[in-house]
Amino acid sequence: MSTRSFGTDQTGRNPYLPRLLGTHGAVATEHYLSALAARDLLRCGGNAVDAAVGATLVEGVVNPNMHTLGGECPMLIYVASQRRVVSINGNTAAPALATPERFRELGLADVPEESILCAGVPAAFGALLTALLNFGRLPFAEVAAPALELARGGFPVHKGLVRQPRFGIEANAGKFRGWPGSAQVYLPGGQVPAIGALLRNPPLADTLAALLAAERARRGKRAPKLQAVLDAFYRGDIAAEVDRFSRAHDGLLRREDLADFETHIEEPASLDYRDATVFKCGPWNQGPVLLQTLALLETFDLKAMEHHSADYLHTVVEAVKLAFADREQYYGDPRHVAVPLAGLLSKDYARKRAGLIDPAHAAAELRPGDPQSGNPLLPEAQRLAGRAWGAGTVHVDVIDAQGNMAAFTPSGAWIRSQEVIPALGFPLGNRMQTFYLGPTHHPNVLAPGKRPRTTISPSLAFRGGRPWMVFGSMGGDQQDQWMLQFLLNRVDFGMTIQEAIEAPKFSSEHFPGFFAPHDFIPNRLRIEPRVPKAVLDELTRRGHDLEIAGDWTEGYLLAAARDPETGILEAGCDLRGEKSEVFPSFALCW
């Protein structure tokens, strides 16, 4: 090595982004402005929940290609003072008028992907206020101030908002010109904004300002003031405006649907894997599929296979395929259907299912099991056909100095799928498109008030019985596949957060997705090209149908962690967001 060199010659083994460590706070979001908002809220006395709520509101301003206020936001929170993990069901609900019969009367075989007819109740705001009311410290005015400032004063447009395929302004400009509410915000002067140009959203600023005014007008302590904000959104002028817009466009959503909507605080699903305990939202969400996959993989010595060897990748992919087959067969809103979650997460059931994995050949079938009887395979006549689950999401992770942890996964109400309501500055959601109109026994068949199953899936983990990490991703059906690989990198292979994020990733398309076009390709495996060619060739020999993805396109992960032994905080973000022109992900630790 040259005496004039200042660094190691082993740069290939190091991540591109630095390892971020600190003692006061850890934040990871999908935009640097939301990360800075979270940091500022922590510094002014807020906790992890306050910071995550503030960051999520900012995400709805600066990343509207992936999420706005009309969408959804599932959450996992570790409450340090109570030493417990809670799940907040931030999922939408179908309107009272939404029935399979109504859609068939309209000549539809499915709930449309882009239509006022796929709009359920805006759920993200209810989830944010429920988290703030029960687990935060700050008033809404303080938490919402960064989002209000950016909506009113503007922010520099990033390249993902303009250029992202299918979701960006450029790809949807023609559509926006026919949507006056969208054009007034996202086509200033009738043109696609230049990257770096200031973009303002005056009607959204007015909406946020009206919510702040409702808080100020209510006398009393913090709780009734926050309840006044909730009421202003779901029972006041905002609900009335949603009703007017929906009726004017022949939608099904009504003011009464918003007034009747409730956000539920729930017990999360959880599973022990090696020395970790992993928490996910319930089966209205795809999250338990990650737990099922871990239970399958716990029967294998993954470390002995070596990271990203053909044996390792084949085993993980085949376990993913088995778990996702159960996802399609059984998951749904547990308030409307019986989901056999205990059986699905049973270690005995997982051991039987793991026996179906052939180490030499990729299975071509979609093979759900029978958790009620414990049989590893469900008879073919009872298996359900599938359709797609979802795409387009952001994520927020925050840990504070007291050990509170928040993992929020906001999604939906993307600007590509619905017109922006002119008076409110945000569109309604489209999550109802994941519902089925039949058969009647399907766990995800449409019903009034029912929550559609969804891919948006935050994660929280303990290690050695103590709070350890929050993490998540965008990516529809790929979210829990990418989070699985990240977690295995951490638990089985001892990687740092940034190493685990940047390692090459894959995703299977073997099972039905959640969103249109509802397709699947048996044994299709998308994989990044940094995996060695010899490994790729061996996977092909075993029957995997490889599609070599563009490099740095399989991932979009964020994470924040607290070392259970030392209390040192760590955070990391995925450079795939920037490289793939989706969003400028960012992490901070101090």
Omega within 30 of 0 (cis) for the link into 439? yes
What element of type H or E holds 487? helix 479-491
The pLDDT profile of the chain, 590 residues, written as one tens digit per residue, is: 567 767 766 777 789 999 999 999 999 999 999 999 999 999 999 999 999 999 999 999 999 999 999 999 999 999 999 999 999 999 999 999 999 999 999 999 999 988 999 999 999 999 999 999 999 999 999 999 999 999 999 999 999 999 999 999 999 999 999 999 999 999 999 999 999 999 999 999 999 999 999 999 999 999 999 999 999 999 999 999 999 999 999 999 999 999 999 999 999 999 999 999 999 999 999 999 999 999 999 999 999 999 999 999 999 999 999 999 999 999 999 999 999 999 999 999 999 999 999 999 999 989 999 999 999 999 988 988 665 555 568 999 999 999 999 999 999 999 999 999 999 999 999 999 999 999 999 999 999 999 999 999 999 999 999 999 999 998 888 899 999 999 999 999 999 999 999 999 999 988 776 654 456 788 999 999 999 999 999 999 999 999 999 999 998 999 999 999 999 999 999 999 998 889 999 999 99
Count CB atoms within 10 A of the CB of residue 343. Answer: 17
Beta strands in 178-257 (DSSP E): 198-199
CA dist., res. 111 & res. 97, Å (int): 13
CA dist., res. 102 & res. 129, Å (int): 32
CA dist., res. 296 & res. 352, Å (int): 9
- C-alpha 14: how far from chain center: 28
CA dist., res. 213 & res. 230, Å (int): 12
Which residue is it, tokens 């054009």? 183
Q: Residue 47 to residues 90, 148, 455: CA-CA distances in angstroms?
A: 20, 20, 27
Q: Angle at CA 79, nearest 5°, toward 76 and 84? A: 80
pLDDT at 516: 47
3-state SS, 237-268, equals HHHHHHHHHHHHCCCCCCHHHHHHCCCEEECC
CA dist., res. 52 & res. 138, Å (int): 12
CA dist., res. 251 & res. 248, Å (int): 8
What element of type H or E holds 588? strand 586-589
| Closest CA relative to residue 348, chosen from 317, 311, 373, 313 | 373
Amino acid at 355: G
CA dist., res. 312 & res. 542, Å (int): 13
CA dist., res. 586 & res. 318, Å (int): 33
CA dist., res. 300 & res. 307, Å (int): 13
pLDDT at 518: 55
Six token digits for residue 242: 């949603």
Concatenating the DSSP letter of every residue in 314-339 gives: HHHHHHHHHHHHHHHHH-S-TTTS--
Residues 501/486, Cβ–Cβ less than 8 Å: yes
Strands across the sheet containing 264-266: 264-266, 84-89, 75-79, 405-408, 396-400, 25-29, 586-589
